[in-house]
Amino acid sequence: MRLGVSPAPIPYKNVTEDSLAAVIKVMLGDEVMRLKVQELGEKIRNEDGVTNAVEAFHRHLGLIG
């Protein structure tokens, strides 16, 4: 799922000073991306990660449906 919180990744073999600088400029200047990052951060701060992890573990073991 594309969240829109970052530019497309640069393949390792294609990373140069210029390509990295270009991606950083996009990240710092893209207002839509910044707003999506803020929304995602809020969702992460509001979730109960420990409870979610325990429930996922129990589901994996077949302890809950």
Any idea what DSSP says for residue 13? G
- Which residues constitute the domain of residue 31? 12-61
pLDDT mean over 34-52 = 93
The tally of domains found in the chain comes to 1
pLDDT higher than threshold 70 for residue 65: no
How far apart CA 1 and CA 21 sit, in angstroms, is 25
Flag whether 3 is in a domain. no
Flag whether 5 is in a domain. no
Q: Is the pTM of this model over 0.75?
A: no
Percentage of the chain beyond pLDDT 70 is 97
Residue that has been written with the tokens 């077949």 in this structure: 62
Token readout for 7 is 């530019």
